[in-house]
Amino acid sequence: MNPLRLRDKVKGDIIVSLAGPLSNAILVVVCLVLLYCVSATGAEGKQIIREVIYDNRETTSSLLMPITILLYFSMRINVILGIFNLFPVPPLDGSHVITHMLPEPSNRII
Instruction: Identify the pLDDT of residue 107.
Output: 58
Q: Measure the CA–CA gap between 36 and 2, rounded to whole angstroms.
A: 40
| DSSP-derived 3-state class of residue 40 | coil
Is pLDDT at 66 greater than 70 in this prediction? yes
The pTM is what?
A: 0.78
**Using one digit for the tens of pLDDT, what is the confidence trace for 72-106?**
999 999 999 999 988 888 878 777 777 777 777 65
- 33, burial (CB in 10 Å: exposed 0-12, middle 13-18, buried 19+): exposed
Q: Measure the CA–CA gap between 81 and 16, rounded to whole angstroms.
A: 16
**Using one digit for the tens of pLDDT, what is the confidence trace for 17-56?**
888 899 999 999 999 999 999 999 888 888 888 888 888 7
